[in-house]
Every structure is written in C-alpha cells, then in structure tokens.
Amino acid sequence: MALDRYEWLGRLANRLPEDCLVMSTYIGAVSFEWGHHTEEHHRTAHLGQMGDVIGLALGLALALPHRKVVCLDGDGSVLMELGQLVAMGEQQPGNLVVFVVDNGVYESIGWSGQGRRPTATAGHVDLAAIAAGCGVPYTVDVTAEDELDAEIELAFSRSVCSFINVRTRPGHSHVRPRRTDGIEDKYRFVRYVERLEGIWITGVPPQDIALMKGKEH
Amino acid sequence: MAMTAAALDAAHDGLRAAGIDFVSGLPDGWQRPLHERVEIDPEIRYVPVCNEGVGFSICAGAWLGGKKPALIMENSGIRVASEYIARISLGTGVPVTLLCSYRGDVGETEHWGIPHGIVAEPLLQALRVKYLVVRHVEDLAKSIVRAKRIAEAQLHPAAVLVSGDCVWED
C-alpha cells in the first residue's frame, strides 16, 4: 500500500494551520506540487536540498520554539544525511513535525526502460525505525490514506517532535516546475518571518547604524 | 592541548560582542573549552552535533528564524560542512559565522593535523568564504565580530581560523 503524492500533499496543505511555517525542498516534484497546492504562499521556505532539509527545519524550530514548523523531505534526501535524525532526536523540539515523501526511488533524475533508480528504502531500510532509534519521540510509517488523515490531525493537535514517513507511489510531477530560485525564495520567506514575528533578519539592524556612521546613534 | 585561558575568554567575548545567540558545533581538542563555556551561557542556544554539515544546516535554519548563528568546529569540519555551505549559502545566500581551529598551521605537532591545514584555506576560497587567520590572542575577539559583520553584509558565511598564540604557549 502506498499513497499518491499529489493527492496527499494537497490534503496536508488543506489542513495546514494558518500560523505554522514550512521548510521544504526547492527542487523536484515535492516542491513543485507543494507550491501548486499552497498557491506559492509565503509561509513555506522552499530552501532545502538533498541532505539538509531536516537540519534547516530543526534550526528554524529551535529559533522559533513558539511556532509550529513542518518539514517536507524526500527519502533520498533523508538517506543522504542521517545525522540530521540524530540531531532531531537529541533536541526533540515539540514544535517540529517532519513529513517524508518516501517513494523508494530517485524520482527527479528521470528513468529509462529499466525503470526508476531505487533508494535504500525500496530495500531493507526503514526510515521511521531509524528516526525512532535516534530518539525522535514519535515516529510512524504511514501506508494508507485514513492513517495519514489521523496522523495529520494528531500532528497539529499536540506539541510532540514527530517523524511521519509516508509510503508514496512513484510518479512524475503533476504540475509545472516552480519559477523561483533559492535567492528569491529566501527573501520571500525571510520577509514573511520578519512581519510575522516582528523581528529583523536581513539588512543593517538599528544598533549597527551607529557603527556605520562612526558615531553614537 | 586546548586553547589558552586567554584565548577562551577572548573567543567567548568575541561571540557575545558579535551578537551570536545560537551556536552549533562539534567539539575538538583545541576548542573544547569554548564549547563547554558556550553551553552554559544563558544568552546562547547551544546545539551539539555529530557532523559539521548537519551543524551548518541547523545554523542556517536558525538564521531564517532570526537567530545570529555560529558554527564552532575543527577545520577538518569545513570539509564536511562544505556540501551544505555550497548548497545553502552559495545557492540561497545565508550567513553563518564559522569559528575553526586551524589544525595543520605552522607549529602543528600532530601528523594527522597536516591534511586539515593543507585543505582548509583553498576550500574556503573555493566556497567564496572570506576568512581571517588569528594567531594572536589580542586579535581574536574583534576578528569574530568582524567576521560576523561581513557575513551579515554579504549574506554568506565568513570564517575565523584560530591558531598560533591562541593555542601554543611555546
């Protein structure tokens, strides 16, 4: 049993709390379809790539502990840097929920007559079990749509550091690639966070203006 | 051998003067006392990692949430973190201050430190990471402040490599 990626990402997008932030990949089908489902809302940082999405989400969650942070990652990316799960299990931020699109293949690289190139989760590797072994408080391997509904409900109704691995059917993106690059995505997200939190992230902060002018300010 | 007591104070003072409020890192022999000091500093959120690449990603995420992050590590960790410096910072423009022990610098006593010294500076240059090599304790605090300042200005990491009198009292 496995879920359809486009369909389940849409279901997650529809249930996303208004006040949460999202860290997602910025390349590949997950990013394209998430951007489509969310109408490119500014709450998602499409900034992660292979091996760093959970790390970025963890840092964001630790920086803003009052804010729910959702992470969208893929199995190939998680497998590339399993040390992220060690850090997640050590820190256990209650505001972080990781959803993994685990389709068991390297989808974005294309395929030939021999089929798609498998990831290790197509074999013996169980990402939810690894996350549990790293100390992540709540881990689950989802294989059915009704299970996913229950997990989404649970994830957004409590504050428990969670790793939700969603077994997903391989399949090419249902939508066009996104148009923006990492630079634009970064500024878009940062400006949103600045407004949301009332904080200063880029540019010269007021306390440094005096330094620029060489006098007290 | 670890960094001198004076260098420890200078490094901590530099981090605080720079406004660093979030530190990730993997301790090494030289900067172990700094990790211990930062871990109990109530003004700094300290996140230990087992891999400098993960530490860099965490720092970058913290910056996106408004923190002023630094990654403290041995210079061997630059090699490990380089994948994510390239992906995140060359790709999107995220600043993180890097504070690195400069193993393999002139004066090194350990054979295993030599490769770290050979690779560190060329790798930082390849990653367009500006850096200062600090061999005198009196330069350490202000160098950290300046590295953080240009990191924020260029929206890209900047580094301080610590060596010389900061670790050897010969």
What is the dihedral angle through the alpha carbons of A203, B94, B155, B164, rounded to the nearest 10 degrees?
120
CB A186 within 8 A of CB B94: yes
Task: Pick from B24, B57, B63 the residue to mutate for testing the A interface (most A CBs within 10 Å).
Answer: B57
Contact A60 B51 (CB under 8 A): no
Residue of B nearest to A46 (CA): B92
B124 touches chain A (CB under 8 A): no
Provide the 10 A C-beta neighbour count for residue B129: 23
The β-bridge partners of A141 are: A165
Residues in chain A closer than 8 A to B91 (CB atoms): 49, 182-183
What CA–CA distances, in Å, run from B82 to A188, A203, B143? 25, 25, 22
CA-nearest of A17, A10, A21, A23 to A49 is A23
User: Could you list the residue range(s) of the whole structural domain that residue A111 is in?
Assistant: 3-213
pTM for the full predicted model: 0.96
List the strands of the sheet with B158-162, edge to edge.
B45-48, B22-25, B69-74, B97-101, B158-162, B130-134
DSSP state at residue B83: H
Give the domain CATH number at A28.
Answer: 3.40.50.970
Q: Tens of pLDDT along A52-77?
A: 999 999 999 999 999 999 999 999 99
Model pLDDT, residue A112: 86
User: Could you list the residue range(s) of the whole structural domain that residue B109 is in?
Assistant: 5-166
Total tally of structural domains belonging to chain A: 1
Residues in chain A closer than 8 A to B45 (CB atoms): 62-63
Q: Residue A188 belongs to what H/E stretch?
A: helix A182-197
Give the domain CATH number at B144.
Answer: 3.40.50.970
The β-bridge partners of A4 are: A169
Model pLDDT, residue A217: 43
Total tally of structural domains belonging to chain B: 1
Q: Tens of pLDDT along B69-121?
A: 999 999 999 999 999 999 999 999 999 999 999 999 999 999 999 999 999 99
What is the dihedral angle through the alpha carbons of B53, B55, B57, B63, rounded to the nearest 10 degrees?
-150
Residue B156 phi, psi dihedral angles, 5° rounding: -160, 150
A44 in the Ramachandran plot: left (φ > 0), alpha (ψ -120 to 50) or beta?
Answer: beta
CB A63 within 8 A of CB A48: no
Token pair of B18 as six digits: 């720079």
CB B68 within 8 A of CB B28: no
CA atoms within a 13 Å half-sphere pointing along the CA-CB vector of B144 = 29
pLDDT, averaged in runs of 10, over chain A (217 residues): 94 96 92 96 96 98 98 97 98 98 91 89 97 98 96 98 97 91 96 96 74 60
Residues in chain B closer than 8 A to A83 (CB atoms): 49-51, 53-54
Q: Tens of pLDDT along B111-161?
A: 999 999 999 999 999 999 999 999 999 999 999 999 999 999 999 999 999
What's the CA gap between A199 and A182, in Å, rounded? 22
ipTM value for the complex: 0.97
What's the CA gap between A55 and A71, in Å, rounded? 10
Cα-to-chain-centroid distance, residue A117:
23
CA atoms within a 13 Å half-sphere pointing along the CA-CB vector of A144 = 3
Q: How confident is the model over B54-60, as a mean pLDDT?
A: 98
Model pLDDT, residue A107: 87
DSSP string, A80-141: HTTHHHHHHHHH--TTEEEEEEE-SB-GGG--BTTBPPB-GGGTT--HHHHHHHTT-SEEEE
Q: In A, residues 83-112, which contact B (CB 8 Å cutoff)?
A: 83-84, 86-87, 90-91
Residue of A nearest to B84 (CA): A52
The β-bridge partners of B161 are: B100, B133
> Pairing relation of β-strands A69-74 and A21-25?
parallel
Residue A17 C-alpha, separation from nearest chain B C-alpha, in angstroms: 18
Token pair of A131 as six digits: 């996350």
Contact B88 A47 (CB under 8 A): yes
A182 touches chain B (CB under 8 A): yes
Residues 6+ apart with CB under 8 A from A180: A40, A46, A188
What's the CA gap between A5 and A12, in Å, rounded? 11
B63 touches chain A (CB under 8 A): yes
